[in-house]
Amino acid sequence: MPKPIFVLNGPNLNLLGTREPHIYGAESLDDLRTRCEAAAAARGYAVVFRQSNREGDLVDWLNEARTAASAVVLNAAAYSHTSVAIYDAIKAMATPVVECHLSNPQAREAFRHVSMVSPAAKGVISGFGAKGYELAIEAAVHLAASQDAEKA
């Protein structure tokens, strides 16, 4: 069994399902976890799925992912737009990171147009709601498999 895919979620994503459902959808964070686990299991990967409202937790988990994960799906939520610490954490790792958002930040307020994650991530999936998490798992598995093939 390869190392798991870490799916890391930032602030306020604990409120999914009740938080601005017209933007973020009706599914809960647990529903997203179920989607991720199914999408990963179908490709032979396990998922470590976490959420925190604290920036430092996300940095700690990215540091952990340097050795413990095959790839990371990261929805840093509002910290995507502000966190140099998260940018630095991603730059410090060889493990591939897929940035993921439920909404399309580029189609929203101007302050969401800047992402500190994008320049450090391998790619971005945004605007597809809960389905985007499945797409991000598919991308993460693809990146993990390519990285393993390079090492072999």
Please select the residue that binds ligand DQA; options are 77, 86, 89, 143, rule is CB under 6 A: 77
Please select the residue that binds ligand DQA; options are 59, 62, 69, 102, rule is CB under 6 A: 102
Window of 66-74, 84-92, 101-109, 117-125 that interacts with ligand DQA by CB under 6 A = 101-109
Indicate whether 12 belongs to the interface with ligand DQA (CB under 6 A): yes
Indicate whether 101 belongs to the interface with ligand DQA (CB under 6 A): yes
Which of 45, 79, 87, 101 is catalytic? The answer is 101
Question: Which residues, at least 6 apart from 34, have a Cβ–Cβ distance to it below 8 Å?
Answer: none
For tokens 């069994």, the residue is 1
Shortest Å distance, C-beta 92 to ligand DQA: 22
Judge whether 24 counts as a catalytic residue. yes
The residues with which 111 forms a beta bridge, in sequence order, are none
Judge whether 113 counts as a catalytic residue. no
Is residue 144 within 8 A of residue 96, CB to CB? The reply is yes
Please select the residue that binds ligand DQA; options are 51, 52, 70, 75, rule is CB under 6 A: 75
Question: Which residues, at least 6 apart from 91, have a Cβ–Cβ distance to it below 8 Å?
Answer: 120
How far is it, in rounded angstroms, from Cα 4 to Cα 140? Answer: 11
Which of 3, 112 has the CB closer to ligand DQA?
112
Sites of contact with ligand DQA (CB under 6 A): 12, 75, 77-78, 80, 101-103, 105, 112
Point out the residues that are catalytic.
24, 101
